[in-house]
């Protein structure tokens, strides 16, 4: 396992795009992890004195927002938020989707039909409404956003896993496992699932990118993570009205969120190329 | 206007002469009692402010950026935006100006009985319906008033006039939820509205009420053509200066000038286009900057810095008693008044004003009476004192501070900014508050229920009005469930004084009670503001956010 | 074929029922009172109760749902709480605007992404491929709100050559077509970025197929191999995805519509959902789901047309 | 006359991320007009690269590093794109291994055919179309006009390959490059295609470069042959000289590793070639075959480049340093140990069948019944091998899966040592699972890529024999020794193993439970010949002296002949002939058995061409056939009987044949 991961990293090393992606993601991860130590100011500290001149200065490298909060600090803490919520949400979706996909693909028949139909319905459901209903009902919290993303993305992951399962379940080694009387859960988790790892890992990073966008959109529409803790989408929304005078307040978080998504997508591209060549 | 002065005008004039009545309050009372604005100004020794900003020019189109709402039922409007469109066609009986002075509208003059229970209203004779050319008469006015007070209509005017002219009665139906008979209301007397002649009628109430002329300026109190059955829409009849010619809810509305002559002079504009820009502040600025609109109905704080920098745009503002208060219900930990005090001590209202409202307005003083209110009493400005807040918390048994959650709305944006600013300030005193932002619609479902919330309170001309609505024990809108017997008693006393100085003395005590025991943090008094293109003339922003276009023109 | 269409129609109906019921039930879960909403925050409780009864909101959920379905079947979508208009009127108007925007975007996105995707995929890992791929990947990575912000900053704030909002109303400076430029550009860049990657991947796959070698070794010039043999095959897999964009273009433009104050379907849905305007939300969900299902159906039929191996 | 194609010292290198590797090393090869030259070798020897080099269509990363490829005397490398285009399709055409994927799935056959003349000067579309139809007739496609309008997926594999051949011949090229044109096709189809090519060659006089791993097909078609190993031509010469008197040890090894259709079980042990080709061998300065060569003398063989040298007859060259010193080829030794007596019946199948329902329900497709296996009655005895032979779709694998319990509930009765062996694996008790195990066909999918070899062996030991972790580890080591795998492979992952090693692990895994019955489904068909022989020997060794029974599923008659005690011949889900091996391989034959025997390729240039060539494809198993299932292709079909009445079973002792023909008992 470790050897394989190391091999993948080595292969990734040969993809310039993948390296760039990994570098961007690692950069933001470092920012997020080290925010408590690196951030020059508390992210929510409001300083009315700074509002008069909110532009980048020696004290506030990226300037302050309309409440006089240090943008760099908020950006770093925002990285921490998004890099916690997005992976948690995608992991949740991956766990649920993988389970459903394995069961649907392996069992086939009515179980498959029903699970896939439920998934299709969920996918046909206008997402924004689902988000709104859940958030209106249960409030805008990181947990609820994770839950909603999990539910809306799981069907897609289930499809990927189901496709792999349908392919793999007819492989001879699965037959061999059944012939030694392995229980279904073992066949699913030990024999089939590891073979979905490649597509799942690539999809994981792509999906992280989408999720970062989704969280940003929720923030931008004003139904994202609750203030005051910094969330890049909300930072854009809050300052968007001032773009004509203080564009940096909006453009900096917009650049941050774009770069992170680019990072994830490049990383996924690199991993895909690595798996193709490997 | 009137031949003889109402006795109270004379009394009020005396009080003013004695220095007991504020000049502005005298103006209000005098005009409410039927004295013409010009006369009242001269009685007060003031000159009426001139409205004109040069010679009006005829012609042109004004484009207003404002939500375009459904307009079909004016008597039940809940939002100023709707009335701002409708008002141009279907007018009010009176007009309360920026200066708090109520002037005639479709009403030419009014006279109140000495006990303020009976009001004689005379209509002007030159106001004509656009369609049919029939003059606006007493039947029209009475029909509209009665319709607004009919429980089936559901107009908010009821709340204003209920005590004056309505009575409760039991229906035969049983409410399955409460197992009691359902209660409804009706006019207390068949003579409540009595037509005297075609242009004169009488309003007879069961109690004294000074505010009748102001009530006629209540935002849904549009005078509709009875023939249209209370509905309003494109082409609807009206006495106003404009005609609604196009309406697409959520998109736009178009009004064009009336061609057959309007009683009030003007209008100058040929055409008004209302464009719905959504709630997004950036869209406002973008539209303003790229000259897609000439005027924005209400400025968002986020758009203010940009608007200030646009050379062709002017920011209009007016100090008001508009605010939003962070109020708590008496549940743990806020059941202890020391905790409530700590909340106030931990708040730096000047900073909140500066940060959240960009300094436009006045810092709040934690009692719900504003400097613009006539009976405002200065009981001292409460400076922020974090140490004291901490001490109070410790005293109350929370040495490590408290954790709680505040509910608020994302719109208008300054509210959320204010909450964030206060939350940050409170944190230093050990009051750790999470913010629960809920969509406006949802907030209005729970605003009287959440233990800790941040609620907008609109501008009202008198301080005691808000105190009565929001802080009296058991009042429907007492969102904080706060109950203080002494406060209730003093408030009743204050409401009984027409003499503003006597009222002020009581209000000072009320304010002190609010500071000591009250449920609210009042962070600021807003200055209402909006933006208009510099070529828009004749416009003054009104504390109620009403827009009247008949006097507005576009410079060439 | 007839059997397939019948089955799909049934499928659509079932999904519509499931989704509308879900919306109905979920809406029930969310706090709030339609009557209160209709009357505004300042109406008295009696007035609210009165209206509540009058609207029949005190009846059980299933009864109201059944009534709703009945009304819909009769063509009555109900009345919007926020717009105080028949839902159909509001919906048609907003949908019309969105469809116009969607049609323009679709007309730009599809040829653009097919061209770029094919160009990139025909020679895998060539400089042209690298260039297009990276560009597409970046475009698809920039969220619409960020892309909108960048564009706005450049073209409206800095250069001042385009209008900042698109209320679909010509003004002296900004004719309607100019108001379309920014929304279309944002949607196109974001969406085409994604499609180009899809089409490129499919094209790469096809170019590795032996039949491409067969065509080359017949003596066919490369450009004809690409246009005649590879392209059609390369469009089979992304075909559904391309059609699914219609879906996104109809119900997913909420961000762009909000950014540019464009009076469209997505913004309507957002506002309706925020205001718990159930009739509008339901109708919108109906439209969104129908569009989804129809694009799927269209996708299947198109598949069949494109790929003779598929029979339904 | 000048050579059509000649390769002069061609070396080809691949530059990839893993560095440079040499694919071809100094290959000299020439083809005269009208001549058919075969190129043989195992996978990875570089033979397909030769084909692509002949068309100057090398994959990305590959380039000619030395030598020239001349077509009619002109260097292909010197041609510009336009010249090349005029050459391709017009003067050189190619036929590919996988006809299905070589045809554009979304274009009609007609359009794809017509393209060729249209690309090469034809202006008149109607004339091009007529020509295409004529060519389809030339390749003996029954309904040429209708075929024009069809899509590739609507044709069978054999028909597709005929179309590809027609397309190649459209412009009457002077050279036809055929890269494994019959690989993946059933033997009867293969035989038909080979006959077609022979015939067309005679009529058009086209020169052919024929690339194959199958020595039998080369023997049947070619005039001359070249043997490639690790990118080097190790032997070349007339097909008769090379096959009769192979000079290079590798060529000898290839021939000796093949089972012989004419030698029954116990006749001989196969002679595998030791080891496998590894990457380092390509860069070896001396003989690339050195590490695997039984005759290697490192001093002579590893010293430096070895030239092709005369090896007997005219033009017969071989690249061996010890050419003169090699011992003469020896006849394979008989292996007495393998001739054990068959024991009592272990597996008994009575009227076993498996029908699947597809479609219907929510799939939206009409419900159909696939009759994969019908009414099979067979038995396998302890210590013996029951072989089931037939083409794809014959139901032989279904039978294997039914026995193994992988096909779920089946019709009929199946018993193991008298106890019922019913149901699928999910319902079988553990003891029964242990007693029946299986070896699968595909070495790529037989082992889970995410588990190590050790894990793959320990898991069944723990589950089926209930061993503890440490015991299982030791037992796994013993198992590996038993299948002759070095112990250090236990830590490896499947992708680090060669195909032969993987198949050994699969056998070890099947043996872990110490089964009574081993089912082997095409256990060697995906392996190179040299490796195949070793696995076959291993299976034979494992069976020898044990009372385990083997059910061997294979399409390879020679292999069956080599291994089986009893043979069942299946066609379209039915057993058409069944009996002891000796009787099945001797007349009387079921017409299908006869056709299979005739079609089976033999590495003998003098073997007569098959007398019977089956026409047309096998019917779909979803069709309901009232008469004999073989009737539609039977060369001896009797009108009115065979297609209406089910054939009677003719019994000659233990030998049964299901046929309407009055077959004579062996005299």
- Comparing CA positions, the residue from A86, A57, A99, A95 lying closest to residue A248 is A57
pLDDT of residue B2: 42
Comparing CB atoms, the residue among C31, C84, C260 nearest residue B442 is C31
pLDDT of residue B222: 93
Chain C residues close to B252, C-beta within 8 Å: 167, 169
Domains detected in chain D:
5-105+167-241 (3.40.50.300), 106-166 (no CATH), 246-318 (no CATH), 345-575 (3.40.50.300)
Residue ranges of the alpha helices (H) in D332-395? Answer: none
Q: Which has the higher per-residue pLDDT, B459 or B364?
A: B364
Residue D605 has pLDDT above 90, yes or no: no
Q: Is A13 an 8 Å CB contact of chain B?
A: no
Pick B416's closest partner by Cβ from A46, A227, A245: A227
Cα B240 from Cα B220, distance rounded (Å)? 15
User: pLDDT tens across D4-14, in order?
Assistant: 899 999 999 98
Q: What confidence score (pLDDT) does residue B135 get?
A: 92
Place of tokens 């392209």: C231
Contacts of C19 in chain A (CB under 8 A): 121, 124-125
Would you call C8 an interface residue with chain B, using a CB distance cutoff of 8 Å? no
Nearest to B267 by CA among B556, B542, B539: B539
Of A117-126, C117-126, D83-92, D398-407, the range with the lowest mean pLDDT is A117-126
pLDDT for A130 beyond 80: no
Q: Each residue of D506-525: pLDDT tens digit?
A: 999 999 988 999 999 988 88
- The answer, yes or no, to whether residue B535 has pLDDT greater than 70, is yes
For chain B, the residue count is: 556
Q: Which CATH superfamily is domain A31-267 in?
A: MetI-like (1.10.3720.10)
User: Which residue from C minimizes the CA distance to A234?
Assistant: C145
Q: Give the one of A121, A137, A255 whose C-beta lies nearest to C15's C-beta.
A: A121
Residues of D in contact with A180 (CB under 8 A): 433, 459-460, 463-464, 513
> Would you state the pLDDT for residue D338?
46
Q: Residue D337 — very low, low, confident or very high, per pLDDT cuts 50/70/90?
A: very low
User: What pLDDT score does C81 carry?
Assistant: 75
Rounded Cα distance, B393 and D212, in Å: 91
Phi and psi at residue D63, in whole multiples of 5°? -150, 150
Query: What residues of chain C lie within 8 A of the CB of B280, using their CB?
Result: 258-259, 261
Alpha-carbon B461 to chain mean position: 8
Per-residue pLDDT tens digits for D163-179: 999 999 888 899 999 99
Predicted pLDDT of residue A136:
64
Name the residue among D395, D390, D353, D355 with its Cα closest to residue D375.
Answer: D353
> How is B5-50 classified by DSSP, letter by letter?
--HHHHHHHHHHHTT-S-HHHHHHHHHHTT--HHHHHHHTT--PPP
Q: Look at strands D549-554 and D517-521 and give their pairing.
A: parallel
Q: Residue D366: pLDDT above 80?
A: no
DSSP designation for D565:
S
**Summary mean pLDDT of chain C:** 83
Residues found in chain A: 278
Average confidence (pLDDT) over D27-41: 91
Answer yes or no: are the C-beta atoms of A238 and A217 closer than 8 Å: no
Are D96 and C213 in contact (CB < 8 Å)? yes
Instruction: Quote the CA–CA distance of D17 and D566 in Å, as a whole number.
Output: 51
Could you tell me how far CA A165 lies from the centroid of its own chain?
Answer: 24
Closest residue by Cα to residue A60 from B97, D19, A51: A51
What is the percent of chain B where pLDDT is above 70? 96
Helices C87-122 and C176-207 cross at an angle (nearest 10°) of 40
Q: Strands, DSSP E only, in chain A? A: none
At B1 the pLDDT is 39
Q: What pLDDT is stored for residue B250 in this prediction? A: 78
User: How many structural domains are present in chain C?
Assistant: 1
Average pLDDT, chain B: 85
Rounded to the nearest angstrom, the minimum Cα separation between D102 and chain C is 4
- In Å, how far is A36's CA from the nearest CA of chain B? 18
Give the mean model confidence (pLDDT) for residues B414-421: 90
User: Per-residue confidence at A8, pLDDT binned at 50, 70, 90?
Assistant: low
Q: Is the pLDDT of residue D667 over 60?
A: no
Residue D39 has pLDDT above 90, yes or no: yes
Report pLDDT digits (tens) over D558-567.
899 888 999 9
Strands (E) located in D106-223 = 175-179, 207-212
Question: Is D104's CB within 8 Å of C211's CB?
Answer: yes
> Using the beta-carbon criterion (under 8 Å), do C142 and A261 form an inter-chain contact?
yes
Q: Say how far apart CA B123 and CA B216 lie, in whole Å.
A: 13
The size of the A-C interface in CB pairs under 8 A is: 123
pLDDT score recorded for residue D364? 58
Rounded CA Rg of chain A: 22
Residues of chain D whose beta carbon is less than 8 angstroms from a beta carbon of chain C are 55, 57, 60, 81, 84-90, 93-94, 96, 98, 101-107, 115-116, 119-120, 151, 153, 164, 167, 364
Residue A263 to residue A22: CA distance in whole angstroms: 6
**Which pLDDT score, from 0 to 100, does residue D385 have?**
92
User: Is A176 touching D (CB cutoff 8 A)?
Assistant: yes
Q: Which residues contact B493 (CB under 8 A, 6 or more apart)?
A: B506
Q: Are D464 and A180 inside 8 Å of each other by CB?
A: yes
User: Stretch B5-11: mean pLDDT, rounded?
Assistant: 76
Q: Do A241 and B285 touch (CB under 8 A)?
A: yes
Residues spanned by the domain of C136: 99-265+295-306
Is residue C312 a part of any domain in this protein?
no
pLDDT above 70: percentage of residues in chain A: 92
Q: Is C155 on the interface with B (CB under 8 A)?
A: no
Q: How far apart are CA C180 and CA C183, in angstroms?
A: 6
Residue whose token pair is 């080099």:
D53
**If we measure between CA atoms, which residue out of D99, D76, D84, D79 comes closest to residue D12?**
D76
Whether A121 has its CB under 8 Å from any CB of chain D: the answer is no
Query: Above 60 in pLDDT, residue D464?
Result: yes
Q: Calculate mean pLDDT across residues C122-145.
A: 88
Mean pLDDT, residues A229-248 taken together: 83
Using the Cα atoms of residue D462, residue D468, residue D469 and residue D474 in order, give the sign of their dihedral.
Answer: negative
CATH code at C229? 1.10.3720.10
- Dump pLDDT digits (tens) for A171-215: 889 999 988 888 889 999 988 888 888 888 888 888 898 888 888
Q: Give the residue-averaged pLDDT of D533-542.
A: 89
Contacts of D119 (CB under 8 A, 6+ apart): C218, C219, C220, D85, D89
Burial (Cβ within 10 Å: 0-12, 13-18, ≥19) of residue D501: buried
Measured between CB atoms, does A258 come within 8 Å of chain C? yes
Q: Give the span between the Cα atoms of D330 and D333, in whole angstroms.
A: 8
A19: closest CA of chain C, how far (Å): 13
Sign of CA dihedral D27, D32, D34, D36: negative
Taking residues D647-665, report their average pLDDT: 86
Among residues B99, C250, D605, C274, the alpha carbon closest in space to that of A137 is found at C274
Mutate to test the interface with D, among C211, C212, C229, C306 (most CBs of D within 10 A): C211
Contact D102 C216 (CB under 8 A): no
Instruction: Work out the minimum CA distance from D177 to partner chain C, whole angstroms.
Output: 11
Cβ within 8 Å of C, B 182-201: 183-185
Q: What letter does residue B134 receive in the DSSP assignment? A: P
Q: How far is CA D456 from CA A5, A214, D341, D501, in A?
A: 21, 43, 34, 13
């Amino acid at each position: 396992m470790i050897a394989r991961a190391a091999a993948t990293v080595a292969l990734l090393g040969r993809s310039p795009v993948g390296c760039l992606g990994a570098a961007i993601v690692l950069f933001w991860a470092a920012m997020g992890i080290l925010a408590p130590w690196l951030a020059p100011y508390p992210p929510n500290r409001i300083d009315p004195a700074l509002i008069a001149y909110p532009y980048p200065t020696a004290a506030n490298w990226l300037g302050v927002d309309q409440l006089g909060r240090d943008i760099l600090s908020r950006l770093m803490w925002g990285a921490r938020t998004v890099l916690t919520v997005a992976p948690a949400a995608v992991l949740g979706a991956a766990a649920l989707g993988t389970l459903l996909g394995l069961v649907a693909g392996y069992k086939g028949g009515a179980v498959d039909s029903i699970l896939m139909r439920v998934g299709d319905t969920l996918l046909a459901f206008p997402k924004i409404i689902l988000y709104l209903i859940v958030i209106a009902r249960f409030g805008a919290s990181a947990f609820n956003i994770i839950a909603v993303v999990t539910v809306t993305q799981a069907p897609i992951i289930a499809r990927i896993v189901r496709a792999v399962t349908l392919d793999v379940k007819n492989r001879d080694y699965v037959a061999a496992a059944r012939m030694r009387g392995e229980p279904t859960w073992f066949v699913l988790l030990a024999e089939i699932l590891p073979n979905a790892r490649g597509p799942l890992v690539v999809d994981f990073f792509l999906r992280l990118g989408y999720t970062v966008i989704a969280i940003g959109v929720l923030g931008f529409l004003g139904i994202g993570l609750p203030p005051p803790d910094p969330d890049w989408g909300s930072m854009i929304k809050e300052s968007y009205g001032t773009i004509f005078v203080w564009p940096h307040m909006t453009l900096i978080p917009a650049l941050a969120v774009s770069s992170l998504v680019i990072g994830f997508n490049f990383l996924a591209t690199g991993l895909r190329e690595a798996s193709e060549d490997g | 206007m009137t031949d003889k002065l109402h006795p109270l005008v004379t009394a009020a004039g005396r009080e003013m002469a004695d220095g007991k009545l504020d000049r502005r309050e005298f103006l209000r009372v005098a005009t409410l009692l039927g004295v013409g604005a010009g006369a009242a100004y001269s009685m007060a020794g003031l000159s009426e402010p001139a409205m004109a900003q040069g010679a009006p020019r005829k012609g042109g189109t004004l484009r207003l950026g404002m939500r375009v709402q459904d307009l079909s039922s004016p008597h039940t409007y809940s939002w100023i935006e709707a009335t701002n469109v409708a008002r141009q066609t279907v007018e009010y009986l009176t007009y309360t100006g920026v200066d708090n002075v109520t002037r005639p509208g479709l009403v030419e003059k009014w006279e109140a009985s000495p006990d303020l229970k009976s009001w004689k209203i005379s209509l002007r004779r030159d106001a004509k319906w656009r369609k049919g050319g029939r003059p606006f008469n007493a039947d029209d006015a009475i029909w509209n008033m009665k319709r607004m007070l009919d429980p089936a209509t559901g107009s908010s005017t009821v709340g204003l006039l209920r005590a004056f002219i309505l009575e409760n009665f039991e229906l035969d139906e049983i409410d399955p939820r409460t197992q009691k008979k359902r209660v409804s209301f009706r006019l207390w007397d068949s003579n409540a509205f009595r037509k005297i002649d075609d242009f004169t009628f009488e309003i007879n109430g069961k109690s004294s009420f000074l505010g009748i002329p102001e009530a006629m300026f209540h935002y849904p109190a549009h005078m509709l053509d009875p023939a249209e059955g209370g509905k309003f829409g494109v082409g609807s009849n009206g006495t106003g200066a404009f005609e609604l010619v196009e309406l697409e809810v959520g998109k736009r509305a178009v009004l064009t000038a009336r061609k057959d002559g309007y009683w009030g002079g003007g209008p100058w504009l040929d055409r008004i286009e209302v464009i719905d820009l959504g709630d997004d502040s950036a869209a406002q600025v973008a539209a303003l900057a790229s000259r897609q609109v000439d005027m924005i109905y209400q400025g968002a704080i986020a758009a203010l810095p940009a608007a200030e920098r646009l050379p062709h745009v002017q920011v209009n503002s007016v100090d008001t008693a508009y605010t939003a208060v962070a109020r708590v219900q008496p549940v743990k930990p806020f059941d202890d008044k020391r905790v409530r005090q700590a909340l106030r001590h931990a708040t730096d209202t000047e900073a909140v004003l500066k940060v959240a409202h960009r300094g436009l307005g006045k810092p709040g003083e934690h009692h719900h009476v504003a400097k613009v209110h006539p009976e405002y009493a200065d009981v001292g400005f409460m400076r922020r004192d974090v140490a004291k807040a901490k001490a109070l918390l410790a005293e109350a048994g929370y040495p490590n501070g408290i954790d709680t959650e505040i509910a608020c709305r994302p719109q208008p944006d300054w509210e959320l900014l204010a909450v964030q600013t206060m939350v940050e300030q409170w944190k230093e005193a050990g009051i750790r508050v999470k913010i629960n932002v809920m969509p406006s619609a949802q907030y209005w479902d729970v605003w009287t229920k959440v233990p800790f919330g941040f609620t907008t309170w609109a501008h009202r001309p008198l301080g005691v009005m808000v105190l009565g609505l929001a802080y009296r024990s058991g009042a429907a809108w007492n969102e904080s469930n706060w109950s203080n017997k002494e406060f209730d008693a003093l408030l009743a006393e204050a409401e009984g004084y027409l003499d503003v100085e006597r009222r002020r003395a009581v209000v000072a005590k009320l304010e002190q009670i609010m500071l000591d025991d009250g449920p609210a943090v009042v962070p600021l008094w807003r200055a209402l503001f909006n933006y208009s293109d510099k070529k828009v003339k004749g416009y003054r922003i009104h504390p109620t956010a009403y827009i009247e276009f008949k006097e507005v023109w576009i410079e060439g | 074929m007839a059997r397939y269409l019948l089955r799909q129609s049934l499928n659509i109906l079932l999904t519509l029922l499931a989704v509308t019921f879900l919306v109905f039930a979920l809406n029930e879960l969310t706090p709030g009172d339609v009557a209160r909403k209709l009357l505004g925050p300042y109406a008295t409780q009696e007035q609210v109760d009165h209206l509540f009864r009058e609207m029949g909101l005190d009846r059980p959920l299933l009864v109201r749902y059944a009534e709703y379905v009945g009304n819909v079947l009769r063509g009555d979508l109900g009345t919007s709480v926020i717009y105080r208009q028949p839902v159909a009127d509001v919906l048609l108007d907003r949908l019309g605007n969105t469809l116009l925007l969607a049609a323009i975007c679709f007309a730009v996105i599809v040829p653009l992404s097919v061209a770029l995707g094919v160009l990139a995929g025909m020679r895998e890992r060539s400089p042209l491929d690298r260039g297009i791929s990276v560009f597409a990947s970046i475009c698809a990575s920039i969220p619409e709100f960020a892309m909108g912000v960048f564009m706005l900053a450049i073209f409206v704030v800095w250069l001042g050559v385009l209008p900042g909002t698109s209320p679909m109303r010509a003004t002296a400076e900004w004719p309607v077509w100019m108001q379309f430029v920014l929304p279309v550009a944002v949607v196109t860049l974001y969406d085409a970025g994604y499609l180009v990657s899809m089409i490129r991947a499919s094209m790469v796959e096809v170019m590795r197929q032996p039949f491409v070698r067969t065509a080359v070794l017949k003596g066919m010039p490369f450009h004809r191999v690409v246009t005649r043999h590879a392209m059609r095959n390369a469009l089979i897999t992304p075909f559904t995805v391309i059609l699914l964009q219609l879906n996104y273009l109809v119900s997913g433009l909420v961000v762009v519509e909000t950014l540019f104050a464009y009076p469209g379907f997505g913004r309507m849905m957002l506002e309706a959902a925020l205001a718990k305007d159930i009739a509008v939300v339901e109708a919108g969900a109906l439209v969104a789901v129908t569009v989804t299902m129809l694009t799927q159906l269209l996708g299947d039929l198109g598949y069949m047309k494109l790929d003779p191996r598929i029979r339904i | 006359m000048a050579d059509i194609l000649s390769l002069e010292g061609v070396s080809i290198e691949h530059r990839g991320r893993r560095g440079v590797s040499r694919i071809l090393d100094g290959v000299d090869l020439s083809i005269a007009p009208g001549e058919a030259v075969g190129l043989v070798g195992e996978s990875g020897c570089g033979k397909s690269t030769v084909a692509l080099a002949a068309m100057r269509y090398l994959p990305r990363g590959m380039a000619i590093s030395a030598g020239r490829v001349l077509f009619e005397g002109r260097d292909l490398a010197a041609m510009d794109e336009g010249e090349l285009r005029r050459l391709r399709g017009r003067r050189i055409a190619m036929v590919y291994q996988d006809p299905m994927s070589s045809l554009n799935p979304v274009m009609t056959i007609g359009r794809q055919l017509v393209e060729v003349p249209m690309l090469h000067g034809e202006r008149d579309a109607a004339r091009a179309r007529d020509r295409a139809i004529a060519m389809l007739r030339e390749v003996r496609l029954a309904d040429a006009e209708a075929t024009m309008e069809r899509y590739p997926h609507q044709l069978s594999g054999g028909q597709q390959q005929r179309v590809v051949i027609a397309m190649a011949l459209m412009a009457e090229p002077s050279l036809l490059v055929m890269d494994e044109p019959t690989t993946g096709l059933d033997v009867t189809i293969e035989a038909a295609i080979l006959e077609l090519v022979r015939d067309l060659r005679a009529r058009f006089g086209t020169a052919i470069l024929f690339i194959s791993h199958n020595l039998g097909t080369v023997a049947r078609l070619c005039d001359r042959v070249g043997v490639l190993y690790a990118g080097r031509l190790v032997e070349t010469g007339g097909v008769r000289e090379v096959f009769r008197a192979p000079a290079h040890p590798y060529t000898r090894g290839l021939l000796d590793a093949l089972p012989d259709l004419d030698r029954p079980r116990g006749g001989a042990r196969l002679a595998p070639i030791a080891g496998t080709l590894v990457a380092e061998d390509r860069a070896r300065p001396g003989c690339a075959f050195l590490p695997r060569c039984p005759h290697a003398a490192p001093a002579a063989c590893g010293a430096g480049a070895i030239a092709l040298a005369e090896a007997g007859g005219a033009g017969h060259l071989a690249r061996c340093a010890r050419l003169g010193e090699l011992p003469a080829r020896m006849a394979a030794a008989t292996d007495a140990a393998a001739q054990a007596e068959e024991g009592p019946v272990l597996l008994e199948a009575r009227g076993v069948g498996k029908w699947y329902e597809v479609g219907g329900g929510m799939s939206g497709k009409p419900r159909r019944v696939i009759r994969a296996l019908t009414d099979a009655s067979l038995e396998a005895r302890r210590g013996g091998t029951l072989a089931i032979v037939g083409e794809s779709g014959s139901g032989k694998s279904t039978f294997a899966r039914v026995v193994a319990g992988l096909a779920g509930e089946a019709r009929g009765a199946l018993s193991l040592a008298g106890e019922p062996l019913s149901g699928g694996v999910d319902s079988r008790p553990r003891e029964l699972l242990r007693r029946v195990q299986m070896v699968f066909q595909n070495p790529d999918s037989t082992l889970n890529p995410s588990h190590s070899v050790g894990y793959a062996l320990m898991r069944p030991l723990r589950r089926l024999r209930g061993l503890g972790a440490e015991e299982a580890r030791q037992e796994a080591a013993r198992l590996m020794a038993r299948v002759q795998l070095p112990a250090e492979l236990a830590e490896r992952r499947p992708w680090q193993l060669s195909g032969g090693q993987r198949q050994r692990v699969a056998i070890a895994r099947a043996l872990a439970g110490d089964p009574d019955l081993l089912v082997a489904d095409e256990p060697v068909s995906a392996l190179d010949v040299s490796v195949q022989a070793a696995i076959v020997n291993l299976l034979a060794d494992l069976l020898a002296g044990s009372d385990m029974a083997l059910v061997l599923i294979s399409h390879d008659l020679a292999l069956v002949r080599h291994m089986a005690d009893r043979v069942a011949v299946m066609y379209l889900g039915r057993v058409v002939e069944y009996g002891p091996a000796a009787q099945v391989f001797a007349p009387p034959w079921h017409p299908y058995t006869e056709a299979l025997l005739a079609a089976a390729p033999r590495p003998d240039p003098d073997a007569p061409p098959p007398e019977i060539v089956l026409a047309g494809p096998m019917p779909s198993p979803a069709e309901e056939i009232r008469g004999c299932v073989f009737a539609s292709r039977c060369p001896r079909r009797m009108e009115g009987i065979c297609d209406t009445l089910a054939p009677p079973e003719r019994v000659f002792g233990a030998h049964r044949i299901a046929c309407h023909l009055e077959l004579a008992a062996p005299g």
